[in-house]
């Protein structure tokens, strides 16, 4: 009996009704009073006492599966019938709403702000070699960014990885030797980080680079002051704090006055009135020399910021993961933005 039950179960689970008549034939064959499953229940009387518990469970499961398949496919035919009655295929399709992703909106706005003061957009590969991603940017051999816990290396090669910043684009532009250079490099970058409300293994950056004769830190400050007021509003204030980056010297981090509380203090700015948004500094002479630029003649500044961070500030978003989950409830909030 066990083999019969297994055989019938396989037939039932593979059944697909082609019509209502086909489905009715299935019901008669397996579930009617003279069907195959009731016949097995009649044979159950002949099962040995020690096997009855097991056989009873198998039979009940078989009957339940058959009934489930019958009910499910009956519902399908009912749905098709109702759909045919209600749907008028001659009507035009409903308009599908759509809009830009908030990261795309902010990236476009950033590009526009810097293009207005002479910056050109530069792009580069997302898979980079060690020289462009680390060595040319003055990263020492023992720097933790070169470790596997921080960087996604490609295959087993220690020299090819997903880029960890768009600074690699700056290196490629400097290598071309066409001076002066005034570019921004927006793009996607990758770091081996745990995903949380404030961090992700995939995110977006925009970095800027200006190289010419007699470029000073004052030029950098004025450029970033212009950006902050254009993006966050004319009342925005900025401040610089000393910092360290391998590829710049002098280095700084820049804060902007919190646009949520107006600098008075809130949970977004941790009640300090300031929010850190980017790192910047004067390009280290070693970086210029590695790219074939005479550091005795030319100088320059560089800056970089995370697009997600300033998007969260602009739209008061408190969870970075929302940018990557394709949740329509979240995305529909930005449909009206041009």
Domain count, the chain: 2
Domain that holds residue 207: 102-334
Question: What's the rounded mean pLDDT across residues 121-129?
Answer: 94
For residues 263 and 224, which has the higher predicted lDDT (pLDDT)? Answer: 224
CA distance 155 to 293: 33
Whether pTM exceeds 0.85: no
184 and 154 co-located in one domain: yes
Residues 286-326: tens digit of each pLDDT: 999 999 999 999 999 999 999 998 998 888 888 889 999 88
Percent of the chain predicted with pLDDT > 90 = 46
Residues in the chain: 338
- State whether 141 and 55 are in the same domain: no
Same domain, 55 and 149: no
Same domain, 74 and 143: no
Q: Is residue 92 part of a domain?
A: no
287, two tokens: 């970086």
Tell me the C-alpha distance between 42 and 44, whole Å.
5
3-state secondary structure of 338: coil
Q: State whether 76 and 106 are in the same domain.
A: no
In a domain? residue 96: no
Residue 94 domain flag:
no
Contacts of residue 299, Cβ cutoff 8 Å, sequence gap at least 6: 211, 212, 213, 214, 215, 216, 282, 283, 288
């Amino acid at each position: 009996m066990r083999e019969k039950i297994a055989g019938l179960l396989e037939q039932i689970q593979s059944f697909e009704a082609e019509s209502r008549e086909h489905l009715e034939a299935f019901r008669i064959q397996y579930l009617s009073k003279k069907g195959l499953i009731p016949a097995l229940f009649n044979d159950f009387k002949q099962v040995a006492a020690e096997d009855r518990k097991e056989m009873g469970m198998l039979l009940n499961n078989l009957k339940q599966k058959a009934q489930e398949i019958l009910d499910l496919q009956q519902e399908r035919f009912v749905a098709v019938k109702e759909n045919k009655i209600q749907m008028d295929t001659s009507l035009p399709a409903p308009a599908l709403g759509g809009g830009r992703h908030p990261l795309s909106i902010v990236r476009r706005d950033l590009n526009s702000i810097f293009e207005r003061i002479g910056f050109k957009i530069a792009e580069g590969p997302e898979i980079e070699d060690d020289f462009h991603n680390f060595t040319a940017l003055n990263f020492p051999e023992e720097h933790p960014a070169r470790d596997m816990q921080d960087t996604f290396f490609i295959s087993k090669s220690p020299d090819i990885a997903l880029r960890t910043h768009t600074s690699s684009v700056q290196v490629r532009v400097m290598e071309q030797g066409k001076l002066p250079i005034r570019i921004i490099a927006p793009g996607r970058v990758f770091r081996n980080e745990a995903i949380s409300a404030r961090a992700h293994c995939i995110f977006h950056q925009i970095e800027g680079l200006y190289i010419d004769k007699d470029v000073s830190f004052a030029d950098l400050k004025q450029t970033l002051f212009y950006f902050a007021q254009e993006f966050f509003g004319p009342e925005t204030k900025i401040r610089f704090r000393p910092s360290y980056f391998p590829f710049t010297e002098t280095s700084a981090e820049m804060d902007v006055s919190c646009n949520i509380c107006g600098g008075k203090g809130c949970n977004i700015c941790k009640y300090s009135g300031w929010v850190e948004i980017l790192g910047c500094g004067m390009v280290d002479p070693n970086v210029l020399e590695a790219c074939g630029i005479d550091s005795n003649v030319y100088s320059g500044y560089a800056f970089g910021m995370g697009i997600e961070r300033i998007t969260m500030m602009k739209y008061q978003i408190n969870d970075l993961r929302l940018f990557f989950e394709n949740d329509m409830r979240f995305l529909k909030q930005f449909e009206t933005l041009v």
